[in-house]
Each structure stands twice: as C-alpha cells, then as structure tokens.
Amino acid sequence: MARVDALVDGIYRICTTVQLPDNTDFQFNQFLIDDERPALIHTGMYGLYEGVRDGVAEVLDPSKLEYVILLHFEADETGGMDRFLEGAQHSTLAGSAMSAILNLSGWNYSGRVEGHTEGEVIDLGKHKLRFLETPHVHHWDSMMLFDETTKSVFPSDLFIQPGDQPPVVTEDLGSMMCDYYREIGIFAHDQPVRDVVDRIEALDPDWIHGMHGGSLGRETIPHFIRALREEPVGYQGKLLGREVVPR
C-alpha cells in the first residue's frame, strides 16, 4: 500500500515504506504531477508497481500518464518503467541523455525514450520541468529536475532521510543525512555533491522533493545545505553499512 499526499500545486508524493533487514523503515517516494500532460517522476522497484499504480489512480487515470521520468538508472528509480509505459499508450520514458546512451540502448528495452541534456525543458502545461545534469551525484548518468512553476527540485537520492518520515520534514536532519551517506557509500566523493548543492542553492527553491524521506520547504532547506557543505558524505569504505575489506 502506498500513501498519497498532495504537496504543492498538483504535485503528489506517493510513498511506500518498507522494512529493511535491520528492522528500520525506509521510504520510496514517487512524485506524480497532475497537469495537462501528467508525469510520474521515478517509478519504484518492479515489486512496488501495483501499489504505486494504485496511488497514481487515486489522483488520475494511470493510462493518461504522458511522461515517466527517470533520474538515474537503478531499480528503485526505474523498476516499474516497462509496466507504466505499457499501461499508458501515449507515454514516453524521459531521462538523461546519458541514461539513454548507457542504459537504455544495448539492452532489450524497446519503449519510447527521450534523452535530455542540461537546460532542456519538458512542458507539462502548467509545470515546466528543467533538466539539470548532475553526473556523479551519485551515478554517471544522474540528473535532477527543477519545476520552474513551483520552484521545486527533484533531487532523487540527494537530501535523503532514512526512517518513517512525514510528507514534509521540518526537523534539521542534516547531520543524520550525512552520517547515513557515509554508512551506505553512494557518493564517490564530496566535490560533485558540493558543486550541485551550490547550483541548487542558486535556484532559490521553495521545495525539495527527495526520493527517500520527506519533502523540505524553504525554511528547512538551509539546514540540509549547510550539512552537505560542512560534513563529509563521500565513500569511506562502507557499502550499505558493510565494511569493504580488500583481501
């Protein structure tokens, strides 16, 4: 079962909370934009498809989706893409040009694909989604989106918060976020992250809608930005909490 919450001006958070093997909660958020051309931003893993689709159906008919947007190629971002596209006849998969080159060609994927580069815009009607290429935060093909209408950043795995979080987080969880990044090891190095943090700050966003945890409003964003600037987040020898010991 996914929980659906209206966030701002036609943007909905479809949240599935799962229990990890260590008995902690972890959230997978997909974002639905209800507009003239409806869009779903990331899909969740293959196994979450029914719940996410039912969440979409609480707001609009999933067969009316026109865009399924992936921000990098990874199971939680893209696992449901085939089925969402199959269920929506006029939909297109949109991602970074790098995702299209690296991951959507040379495999057996045969659906409709658009690969985008920095600054290109998808016009949904009211909402305009601008692509930010953000390589190595955390994959080679990573990108983020900026909705110019609501001044919302969709940063996928940046601004992560583990645990069962409310739809909008107002607490300063910046240090917890950085601790968690060092534990799971998803960024190779601090610098690409800090460069992107500068770019996000320059956009002066009203909202940040991360994939894991709650959305952040204007008053909360600076706490997380400060932590990302001041605390290390790069790989320190751990993957998902496991020490990698060369033998």
CB 168 within 8 A of CB 83: no
| Total site size for Fe ion, rule CB under 5 A | 4
CB 72 within 8 A of CB 138: yes
Positions in 202-221 near Fe ion (CB under 5 A): 211
Write the binding mask 22 to 61 for Fe ion: x where contact by CB under 5 A, - elsewhere. ----------------------------------------
Nearer to Fe ion, 37 or 98 (CB): 98
Q: What distance in Å separates the CA atoms of residue 95 and residue 143, rounded to the nearest whole number?
A: 8
Nearer to Fe ion, 30 or 220 (CB): 30
Give min distance, CB of 75 to Fe ion, in A: 9
Segment contacting Fe ion by CB under 5 A, of 74-82, 147-155, 189-197, 227-235: 74-82
Give min distance, CB of 156 to Fe ion, in A: 6
Give min distance, CB of 72 to Fe ion, in A: 6
Give min distance, CB of 42 to Fe ion, in A: 7
Nearer to Fe ion, 31 or 37 (CB): 31
Positions in 152-171 near Fe ion (CB under 5 A): 157
Segment contacting Fe ion by CB under 5 A, of 29-37, 69-77, 116-124, 225-233: 69-77
CB 74 within 8 A of CB 95: no
CB 228 within 8 A of CB 194: yes
Segment contacting Fe ion by CB under 5 A, of 15-23, 66-74, 201-209, 233-241: 66-74
Sole binder of Fe ion in the list 74, 133, 141, 190 (CB under 5 A): 74
Nearer to Fe ion, 35 or 157 (CB): 157
Question: b or e along 90-106 (b: 16 or more beta carbons within 10 Å of the residue's beta carbon)?
Answer: ebbbbbbbbbbebbbee
Q: What distance in Å separates the CA atoms of residue 205 and residue 199, rounded to the nearest whole number?
A: 10
Q: What distance in Å separates the CA atoms of residue 6 and residue 18, rounded to the nearest whole number?
A: 21
Sole binder of Fe ion in the list 34, 35, 66, 76 (CB under 5 A): 76
